[in-house]
Structure 1
Amino acid sequence: MAELLIVRHGQASFGAANYDELSDLGRQQSRALGETLRALDWVPDRMVTGSLMRQTQTLAEMGFDGVVEEQAGWNEYDFHDLLNSRYGGTALVDVITDRKTHFRALKETLAEWQLGGIPSARETWQGFCDRIEQARLAAIRPGAERVLVVSSGGAIARLVANSLQLSNDQMIALNLQIKNSSTSRYVFSGDKFFLHEFNSVPHFHNLERAALMTYS
């Protein structure tokens, strides 16, 4: 069967003026993953990213040659928009800059969004789900045996939750535990699509690289 390897981008620049850019650590994570995949003789014959900078930079740092498809369907939900919308237009500073406050507020916001709340948000929950499914179908179309996708935690969690028929609250739990630059592997053939591995970090499985692991 063919394989889809979906990668969460490397660490972005949390709290910086431009969050949507890899930190130095995120670049190291991405290079380590690319080196490990090549050492395992896993080279993609189709490469896809969302249109976010942290996604395209991750794939570039991984160092594979070839044509890259950009599919905005793999983009993360716009958490800044969701948080600002939930808080009446502008989120409190701590909600954006303090990690503990941010992720507590994000968890609550996602739960409300999934139930049809936050009507002023630019994207509905159902719209998010639909675009992830369309991106999946485009990525696994015939013509490739090893598909590499670089996406984000929310999109990956939605894909996993949908494929395993998990509840929305389980999707949120998955979202918050996905490691930067981790891989989740699917095997597929025709209408068969099975999760084979989730949130794996083989590139950190040694003492030298263990310190590179992050969740946000």
Structure 2
Amino acid sequence: MIEIYLIRHGQASFGKPAYDCLSTVGERQAELLGRHFLKNGTRFDAVYSGALRRHVQTAAITMKQINGDGTPNLVIDAGFNELESSDRMMNCLCAVMQQDPALAEQMKHIHTDHAAIGRLFAIVEKAQLMPGDEAAHIRQVQEFVDRIGAALENLVCRVGDNKKVAVFTSGGPTAVALRQTLDTSREQTIRLGWELRNTSITVLRYDQGQLGLVLFNCVAHLEAQNDPGLITYI
């Protein structure tokens, strides 16, 4: 049996020149997550991270709270990266916000309201601000799904039985892993992805060749602070 902790990165820097970097809030979220693990006695036999900067930053800050000296044995696996077009859309979305004052109200809620994020993405798609071949996009999404499946299979093969593993990643890979676990539809998978909060914990259990869901989208480490501003989605 293997327990896989899928941890979404801390709040990224939406609205800044470089989205793929933790904001000050994101750094605080990762710190609180590490303290939560330390207090609860949660230790990991292996620690994985996607190759994006926000993944690695979240892993380093979180694991430093547990180990005191960071996480020297961090395994960087680009297989756990977000869908590339999703990050491009985030940068495109930022440009749209700056050019269209009418969207300012939506922008106010982008960090803390997952529904606002969905509405803004819909605006980008409707405006066709990210043109491209639909068939190519479908192919890229399938390749993304296959990549996440392969990354999970490789992890299971490498770590061995009776292990607890942390994987610092994004909402997309976590949603895909849930799809493979729960056999959700495409629409359900997208909705699950929007629900994932920054530094949330989703735990899967791999046993006898099957993945099962143990915990979904837990942010107890943030809720304990009684600060709604720490509950973010981007």
Q: After TM superposition, is the score higher than 0.5? A: yes
- More divergent stretch after superposition (91-100 vs 71-80): 91-100
- Is residue 94 from structure 1 mapped to residue 100 from structure 2 by the alignment? no
Fraction of identical pairs, as percent = 29
Normalising by the residue count of structure 2, what TM-score does the alignment of the two structures yield? Answer: 0.78
2:199 aligns with 181
User: Alpha-carbon deviations, 1:145-201, whole Å to 9, x = none?
Assistant: 110000000110111122100100011111111000000001122302211110001
Residue pair 2:14, 2:94 contacting (<8 A) in 1 also: no
| Structure 1 unaligned blocks of 5 or more | 85-89, 110-116
2:73 pairs with one of 51, 59, 67: 67
Aligned residue for 1:42, secondary structure, equals coil
Change (3 A) 1:58 1:74: same
Residue pair 2:19, 2:90 contacting (<8 A) in 1 also: no
Change (3 A) 1:151 1:143: same
| Structure 2 unaligned blocks of 5 or more | 111-115, 126-132
Q: Distance in 2 between matches of 1:215 and 1:83?
A: 13
2:130 aligns with none
1:35 aligns with 35
| Structure 2 counterparts to residues 128-167 of structure 1, below 5 A | 128-141=144-157, 142-143=159-160, 145-167=163-185
User: Alpha-carbon deviations, 1:4-47, whole Å to 9, x = none?
Assistant: 10100000000110000000100000010011011111111101
Q: Post-superposition, which runs of at least 4 consecutive aligned residues in structure 1 deviate over 6 A?
A: none
Normalising by the residue count of structure 1, what TM-score does the alignment of the two structures yield? Answer: 0.84
* Residue correspondences, number: 206
User: Alpha-carbon deviations, 1:116-140, whole Å to 9, x = none?
Assistant: x634559611101000001111222
Higher helix share: 2
- Alpha-carbon RMSD: 2.9
Q: Distance in 2 between matches of 1:122 and 1:171?
A: 15
Following superposition, the deviation at residue 93 of structure 1 comes to 2.9
1:213 aligns with 231
- More divergent stretch after superposition (57-66 vs 70-79): 57-66
